[in-house]
Structure 1
Amino acid sequence: MSRFKLVVAISLFAVCYHVNAEVTPEEQHWVEQALSEINANTDDENVLWQYSQQTKKLDLVRIEKFDASQPKMQRWNLVSENGQTPDKERLEEYQQHQQELKQGKDENSHELVFSELIDLTTLVFVGEDDTSVVFKFSPNIDELDNKVLAGLLYLDKVSKQLRKISINNTDDLTPAFSVTLTKFELEFGFDVFDGLVMPAHISTTISGTAVIFKSLDSIQTVTYSDYKMIEKPKA
């Protein structure tokens, strides 16, 4: 998986808790351990996976498969788009785009490491319910103004494993000249697959404009399934 790449054409759920307090050393350890675990599980240097990825946009449903046992430039394969099997020309275009992603030529894609997404020095205990322990934090996204972003992190109450990370904006964002985002929502959902915590879905919602009149409204959901461990984590 070698980390996740997000396209910054990139939800904060309401949480009715009344406690806001500095985290205890034990709570800090829970969060650090959960983030360390998800980083290790998604790192190709530590464990190899096969999985399916479904991307839904307003006018597109794309299904891809990832196989970490293949050479790095051949790990991603396009299965279908809007229910149609891609022709040879589309497959060649797709593979070219994958190579550009690997070589860092796609300026709209940015590598994301979960542990780097959260400024642990800003962690605040919010509260808990029947299933989760919740913390607030200040996000750390290089391409955006983090001063107008707020985040929530959810741990499973029993296992203390990562279950959800939600980030949204508290004011307008201007990620580029003449670009204004009035709404930015990013959510990561996690679940246990083959015994390890892995991403289950990533959703992004934005509303805004570019060069005054061009709308940038976008909703995208990426769902991961059919996880199969090829090589177990290294001891």
Structure 2
Amino acid sequence: MAFDWSWFWPEFFTAINQTLYMVIVSLIISIIIGIPVGVILVITRENGILENKWIFNILNVIINIFRSIPFIILVVAIIPFTRLIVGTAIGTTAAIVPLVLYTAFYIGRLVESSLLEVDKGTIELAQSMGATPWQIIWRFLLPEALASIVLNLTIATIGLIGASAMAGAVGAGGVGDLAITYGYNQFQTGVMIITVVTLIVLVQLVQTLGNFLSRKIRRK
């Protein structure tokens, strides 16, 4: 039986909207969590401006745990938590919970890497001027690392797009769900090609935007 393409296209655009919804909402929440996590890792590490080995070690272990779990396994493992937060473990909104846990701590690690690139002389200069830890973070660390942070957030966003596609395998909707339901299960090669190309275009747009913003920041 021939595939009904007229019925497919409305589903395709709905899937794109679902993917964008998952990615944008998850990214915003992950950034809100991830940037402070990265900052805390830097300032509490050995020789940091607020050195605290207990906080650093505990947070470091938590991040390593979440980064070690494959996303598909994470989705299943936290079903009770997801159900507690959003009332269900299935659907586009439910997928945001594991997506945030998967991405937020990854962003934290990336932000840590960006902040560690800042010249220590800049921090020492700020301290010699009598700057408080908050002033050092807000006026020196983050501005100096901003271009690198933008590039790392671009990497995290691309990873998030890939994870949102995998979420389709567990009924989260989006482009990934479309690829599995119609492309894989119904052996429709055309559907698979369309979904793959869509994801490639989305990733290219994100990477191009990230590179552009990073260049603009560096020129300033």
* Interval containing the TM-score (normalised by the shorter chain): under 0.3
Structure with the higher helix share, 1 or 2: 2
Q: Which has the higher strand share?
A: 1
Name the TM-score, length of structure 2 as normaliser: 0.26
TM-score by length of 1: 0.24
Larger Rg: 2
